[in-house]
A and B are shown apart, each in its own frame.
Chain A
Amino acid sequence: MPDKRASMHDAVADLVRDGETVAIEGFTHLISFAAGHEIIRQRKRHLTLCRLTPDLIYDQMVAAGVADGLVFSWLGNPGVGSLHAIRRRLEGGNPLQIEEYSHFGMVGRYTAGAAGLPFYPLRSYQGSDLPAVNPKIVPIQSPYGDETVYAVPPLHPDVAIVHVQRADASGNAQIWGLLGCQREAAFAADRVIVVAEELVEEAVIRADPNRTVIPHAIVDAVVIEPRGCHPSYAQGYYDRDNRFYLDWEAISRDPEQLDAWLGEWVYGVASRQEYAEKLGAERWDELTPGPAPAAPVDYGSYQ
């Protein structure tokens, strides 16, 4: 299988293009802040950003001017408050194009995109005002009875960027912990960048195939980027930096502070490695969880 390893710089330069639709997925867990920051550093423009929860990474990307549009289902700083850079755009005079769903609607959109279906049916939205403000959410009648369900259209990102715990050089990628809808987003996308905490041999993947979420066949680039999720987290590797999520409330509330933060932590570092070093060993120690290993399973040998 081909070796698809690339630096984050090269993967973003080659595979993320101005004006495209980009999904950096991961539900709270495994959000590739490293990729988002590289997109900011390369001054990509006019992107449409998709995520269930735009989270701090899209607040930062919107503040940095990379995005014209946002497709989402929950727009907040999880557990803390608001995404103020995005809110300023929506409440002020410099509007961002938004397309809004519920979580299941977004999951359904990726699922239809991944499965090659023209729409995804779900039991939601009846009696909600969401269909009135988003004409892509449409009631349809069951062909087998009188029931009405709602349809959402497939979502086909030009690029999906998915962080995983481990991958091999060709892009077979394994995740444990919250799975979000990374698999669906990756299969729905035209191009896929896998970002991994650790590079492993193909044999490690083959020894535990149930854990593989993304196969090499849909992967365009593999970026080995330890600590690439901070302040999001990687289960078993480092915890979510809740202190930073709390701090973001004040930073993003003030455009000058936000610009200064981008200057120091995004434009002011050349790479994720520099960012991680700048954060300091003490912070990483605080974020390192204790062990909680699973019992091994035996797949059996059949010769």
Chain B
Amino acid sequence: MTVGYSPAEMMIVAAARLLEGERTCFVGVGLPNIACNLARHDKAPDLELIYESGVFGARPARLPLSIGDAALVTGSLSVTSMNELFSYYLQGGLIDVGFLGAAQLDRHGNINTTVIGDYHHPKVRLPGSGGACEIALNARKVHVIMRQSPRSFVSRVDFITSPGRVLDTVVTDLGLYRVEEGEMTLISIHPGVTAGDVQAATGWPLRVAPDLATTPAPAPHELRLIREELDPARVRSVKETVPDLSGSGDCAQDPERGSPHGLRWRPAG
């Protein structure tokens, strides 16, 4: 029996699988938040969620709209000042993996969340770094979740907000990438996506791994966890939205995106 799923659900599941065996993860809201919680319920039960707002070991009882949500505090293991969080937890080397968003990503894995166009005369002013720059330099590895298009997958970013030095895997709505020999390389393609689709959504001649895989489709138990426990209001995982994240994961990477009125949630239990 085939179970239908949305591109966002494919991204969440693919991202969650990357967290198997990880212990500490810097989380952004939106898809990474659901992905990290999915991993905690499934492949990485000991994963501690860390938010740059100063929370270690969050167990949010509802889907947070922002990374400063009150639900991240209640029931967490520790709440620290931001200085302590960045100094001791991140810079001190405690973070296994960080999730970042990107408005633009280039063929070397550099991330832009600052401007489209010239910095001093921007065509589109994006949010900027937030904590992303230091996460990209101090986490052991970084994964990026983003929607792929020729506008977002560019040969050279307009501005390097966060260098791709420890970039591990990029999860898009079309496939998975790793940086190999200094260049973004397609390593897996999602079910139903063709190589032509992927190249058409990439702004440079794409390097493809010789052993290109097909991403395993979301399993029924993964979809059940997303739909029934993590995002029961289906606000993030059904709509084909760009993941709501930028900088360190806190939203707003697509300035042309419409207002998400009607967004609402129920407690995730």
Residues of A bordering B, CB below 8 Å: 27-29, 52-53, 72-82, 86-87, 90-91, 100-104, 107-108, 111, 122-130, 133, 176-181, 183-184, 233, 235, 239-240, 242, 245-247, 249-250, 253, 289, 292
**Nearest-CB distance from B61 to chain A (Å)?**
10
Tell whether, in the assembled complex, residue A233 and residue B70 are in contact, meaning their CB atoms are under 8 Å apart: yes
Q: What string of 1s and 0s marks CB contacts (under 8 Å) between B245-269 and chain A?
A: 0111011100101011101000000
Known: A29-B68, A124-B133, A127-B165. 4 other contacts (CB 8 A): A74-B129, A104-B86, A129-B119, A246-B261
Interface of B: prevailing SS: loop
Closest 5 CB pairs of A and B: A28-B68, A127-B163, A76-B127, A74-B130, A79-B66
| From B129, B246, B260, contact of A246 by CB (8 A) | B260
- The distance in angstroms between the C-alpha atoms of A108 and B90, with both chains bound, is 14
- Nearest CB of B to A250, in Å: 5
Q: Hey, which chain B residues are within 8 Å of A104, CB to CB?
A: 82, 86, 90-91, 131, 133-134
The chain A residue sitting closest to B65, CB to CB, is A79
Cβ of B214 to closest chain A Cβ, rounded Å: 33
Partner of A79, one of B80, B82, B251: B251
Give the number of residues in B that approach A within 8 Å (Cβ atoms): 62
Q: Considering the chains assembled together, what is the distance between the CA atoms of A61 and B133 in angstroms?
A: 28
Closest residue of A by beta carbon distance from B81? A179
The proximity string for B residues 146-184 relative to A, scoring 1 for CB distances below 8 Å and 0 otherwise, is 000000000000011111010000000000000000000
Partner of A125 from the list B80, B119, B133 (CB cut-off 8 Å) is: B133
With A75-B125, A76-B127, A133-B119 as contacts: A81 and B259 at CB distance below 8 Å: yes
Question: At the interface, yes or no: B6 with Cβ under 8 Å from chain A?
Answer: no
Q: Out of A72, A126, A181, name the residue touching B128 (CB < 8 Å).
A: A72
User: From residue B120, how far is it (CB to closest CB) to chain A in Å?
Assistant: 8
Write the nearest CB–CB distance from B130 to chain A, whole angstroms.
4
Which chain B positions have C-beta within 8 A of A90?
122, 125
- With known contacts A127-B137, A233-B70, A246-B260, A122–B91 Cβ distance under 8 A: yes
